[in-house]
Amino acid sequence: MGRVSDSLSRVRGAFTEYTVAGVRELLGPVAGGALARDEIVPALRATGGGSPLEALTRLFWLQVAVGEAALKDVADDLVATGLAERSGGELRALVHVEPLESVSGTGHAGYAVSDLKARPGAGVRLKPDHVVGVGGASANLARLIVHRAVDSALDLGTGCGVQALHLAGEPGPRPRAITVTDVNARALELSALSFALSGVDGVEALQGSLLEPVRGRTFDLIVSNPPFVIAPPEGGLVYRESGLHGDEFCRRLVVEGPRLLNEDGTCQLLANWLHIEGVPWEERVGAWVRESGCDAWVVQRDVQDPAEYAELWLRDSVEVGTPEYVARYDAWLEYFERQRVTGIGFGWITLRHPGAARPTVRIEEMRHAVEQPVGAYVDRVLAGLRESAEFSTACAQEGALEWLSLRAAAGIVQEQIGPPGAEDPERILLRQTDRLRRAAGVGTVEAGLAGVCDGSMALEPLLSAIAQLTGMDPDQVRAHAAAVLPELIADGFFELA
């Protein structure tokens, strides 16, 4: 064990330049862009010089053999740690080792060790216990995770350990205790290698399905990139398919996961959900989050029709072009047809243990680009939902506008739309220049408030001044403000002062 530990230490030393930033600079924009599309030929051309960084990139990222001489100082250690094997004077990777970049893009977050990638045309079939590496979904979740100090964190379904690596390796406060779980023993084996290679100590690893390994415990933060893929039951790839019917796995995770949260704790996950004919998806997912008893923010980021969805995951498992492809594709469509599925949604779910009798829930679709990482301001989004509810409740009280005060959120600009030279605009927009980059059509009252609300005055005198300037009835102005401001607070245009 000591020898392996010493070897890992020497490998870490050899990996000093093998970072996302180092590889990006080595490859340049053309080869780097091609590699992002999983095309390796330009990267092979850019890494033929024989330097240690080029050799490591070819060996562990591009998965091609390299001459042992290129890594002679660390070749024995790569073999001793199980990362590579010798064959005819060459080193061949036994696993895929990919450097991670911090979610802010400003630093190195560790190394994710996964099974070798199966590329189209290679004739390699994925084993049921295949451990997948870094991908778009894991990156999405890492950017969503809240930037707040927590004492304890759970990475449920850790896979190769990506989320735990981010929790342990990002700048700022780190959890005192990190627990990871997975039903797949090989995932726990490779995640342990990820942590060791990244210099992350003290991670508790537990094997088991869903929440079983941690029943009776609570955490400040739960994150999960679960096996959310909805597939016919005979599929069987553990990293993406739970074996439960339809979107039942995600439903259970949403309903049961928050029971493991401490007061004010947060649960964040990615999920797929079915669009069933005649049933709005918001109703189905809304029932999940309401049963959880948490404040909730659900965002649908994409929707695919059944054929697109089947094609996506058949490509993922490198089944395109195989003899079984047509039968697998047909079975997938048949499975969806029996359930009257019209589409499959993908998105984020953030749950916060509310400590309140009436949780606030927001379910929305958001396809446009937003400022990343979302985790930097997700707390502000959840606060806005609660402030919106509090404002609505307060407005039901007599004279509430005499003491309620708001401030316009930072980063708001106003746009007036109409023909050139027109005396009055046809439309007024408030637009966010950062964060969720929402736009809202508003009237004169809201536009006026956005220009003067800084939290220093109650709403009553401001609304009276707007009524006087516009010639509107003061009572109508107050009623209008009480009706429209809650939504603008929930959307992040205004904040309670």
- 16 — pLDDT class (breaks 50, 70, 90): very high
Locate all alpha helices (DSSP H) within 145-243, ordered by sequence. Answer: 162-169, 185-198
The predicted-structure confidence for 213-238, as pLDDT tens digits, reads as follows 999 999 999 999 999 999 998 768 99
DSSP string, 381-420: HHHHHHHHHHHHHHHTSTTGGGT--EEEPTTEEEEEESST
Burial 299-333 (b: 16+ CB within 10 A, else e): bbeebbebeebbbebbebbbbeeeeeeeebbebbe
Which tokens go with 467?
A: 């009524």
Which range (136-150, 409-423, 456-470) has the least confidence?
409-423
pTM, full prediction: 0.94
The predicted-structure confidence for 34-91, as pLDDT tens digits, reads as follows 998 889 999 999 999 989 999 999 999 999 999 999 999 999 999 999 999 999 999 9
Q: Which residues are within 8 A (CB) of 496 and not within 5 positions of it... i.e. 6 or more apart? A: 387, 390, 391, 404, 405, 406, 489
Mean pLDDT of 437-461: 94
> For tokens 């064959």, what's the residue?
87
pLDDT, position 235: 67
Q: What are the domain boundaries of the chain?
A: 2-94, 101-376, 387-496
Whether the predicted pLDDT of 492 surpasses 60: yes
How many CB atoms neighbour CB 57 within 10 A?
25
* Mean pLDDT of the residues in the chain: 93
Give 5-14 contacts, CB < 8 A, sequence gap 24+: 7/76, 7/77, 7/80, 7/81, 8/77, 8/81, 8/196, 8/197, 10/74, 10/77, 11/74, 11/77, 11/78, 11/81, 11/83, 11/197, 12/197, 12/199, 14/52, 14/56, 14/71, 14/73, 14/74, 14/77
Mean pLDDT of 257-277: 96
101-376: CATH, from 3.40.50.150, 3.30.310.80, 1.20.140.10, 3.40.1550.10:
3.40.50.150
> Of 105 and 483, which is predicted with more confidence?
483
Mean pLDDT of 470-494: 95
Q: Nearest Cα to 150, choosing from 61, 65, 263? A: 263
The predicted-structure confidence for 378-421, as pLDDT tens digits, reads as follows 999 999 999 999 999 999 898 899 999 999 999 999 998 877 76
What proportion of the chain, given as a percentage, has pLDDT over 70?
A: 97
426, 420 contact by CB (below 8 A): no
Residue 351 and residue 269: Cα distance in Å, rounded? 9
DSSP H or E run through 151: none
345, 275 contact by CB (below 8 A): yes
Which range (109-118, 169-178, 254-263, 462-471) has the least confidence?
169-178
Whether the predicted pLDDT of 335 surpasses 80: yes
Instruction: Output the CA–CA distances (angstroms, integers) from residue 274 to 285, 307, 316, 456, in the order listed.
Output: 9, 14, 20, 47
The DSSP bridge partners found for residue 90 are 67, 87
Residue 353 and residue 261: Cα distance in Å, rounded? 7
pLDDT, position 358: 83
Whether the predicted pLDDT of 350 surpasses 90: yes
Residue 397 and residue 381: Cα distance in Å, rounded? 25
For the chain, how far is it from start to end, CA to CA, in angstroms? 58
Residue 43 and residue 30: Cα distance in Å, rounded? 9
Residue 218 and residue 240: Cα distance in Å, rounded? 26
Strands 84-87 and 90-93: antiparallel
How many CB atoms neighbour CB 65 within 10 A?
16
Q: Which residues are within 8 A (CB) of 139 and not within 5 positions of it... i.e. 6 or more apart? A: none
